[in-house]
């Protein structure tokens, strides 16, 4: 089975090809950093990935994209392309949340820890926040919060915060007298997105946008 993932949900445009199930292997990936214009660049990036792996579009069994949170236009581009390709090629379409992707990346580097608070910068002094367990199960549903309100999650005994908004949340928590920790975390690769999608049931992971407002 071949899984092609695309990521247009942030300030990059990326694609990756994964072979096999979740324990398979990465065949190819490519990304470009860009704040806008992902729609125009995406198919060139996908072509680069397929050429590197010597794969044709018809060989792909499933397509995956981030379903949110992320930039409004970027999410729409990625999900629309995934749904369109899956329909045209009679393949599966998978949607993975950004919370799952960020948590999975951290779990790879720090296995065996308890629930993590995932904080993603939503701009305008707000954060997209959720809490995920070690198996990526949702412990606290996604919310849009100010750093000060998000810091209340620290009071419930969870202190490890990761994601692009982690530093803002940790600073607010410490100002309120709560113990909080974070560690550097780069935006996960499209390869990890493809790997996660390869192990998912399409029925339970539809490519539907997750808008949190």
- Which domains are present in the chain? 2-97+187-198 (3.30.420.40), 111-182 (3.30.420.40)
Residue 91 has which token pair?
């393949």
Mean pLDDT of all residues in the chain? 93
Burial 62-86 (b: 16+ CB within 10 A, else e): bbbbbbbbbbeebbebbbebbbebb
Q: Whole-model pTM above 0.85?
A: yes
Give the per-residue pLDDT at 112: 84
Q: Which residues of the chain have pLDDT under 50?
A: none
- Residue 57: phi and psi, rounded to 5, are -55, -35
Task: Give the pLDDT of residue 189.
Answer: 95
Q: Are strands 25-33 and 12-19 parallel, antiparallel or unpaired?
A: antiparallel
| pLDDT for the residue numbered 155 | 65
Query: What confidence score (pLDDT) does residue 49 get?
Result: 98
- The pLDDT value recorded for residue 158 is 64
As a whole number of angstroms, the distance between CA 4 and CA 57 comes to: 9
């Amino acid at each position: 089975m071949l899984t092609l993932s695309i990521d247009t949900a942030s300030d990059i445009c990326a694609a990756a090809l994964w072979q096999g199930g979740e324990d398979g292997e990465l065949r190819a990936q490519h990304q470009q950093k860009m704040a806008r214009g992902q729609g125009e660049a995406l198919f060139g990036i996908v072509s680069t990935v397929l050429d590197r792996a010597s794969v044709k579009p018809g060989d792909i069994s499933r397509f995956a994209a981030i379903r949110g949170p992320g930039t409004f236009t970027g999410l729409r581009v990625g999900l629309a392309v995934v749904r369109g390709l899956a329909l045209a090629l009679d393949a599966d379409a998978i949607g993975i949340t950004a919370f799952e992707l960020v948590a999975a990346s951290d779990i790879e580097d720090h296995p065996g820890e308890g629930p993590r608070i995932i904080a993603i910068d939503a701009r305008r002094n707000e954060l997209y926040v959720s809490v995920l367990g070690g198996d990526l199960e949702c412990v606290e549903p996604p919310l849009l919060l100010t750093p000060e309100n998000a810091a209340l999650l620290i009071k419930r005994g969870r202190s490890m915060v990761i994601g692009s908004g982690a530093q803002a949340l940790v600073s607010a928590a410490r100002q309120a007298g709560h113990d909080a920790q974070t560690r550097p975390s780069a935006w996960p690769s499209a390869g990890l997105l493809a790997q996660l999608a390869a192990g998912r049931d399409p029925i339970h992971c539809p490519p539907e946008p997750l808008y949190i407002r």
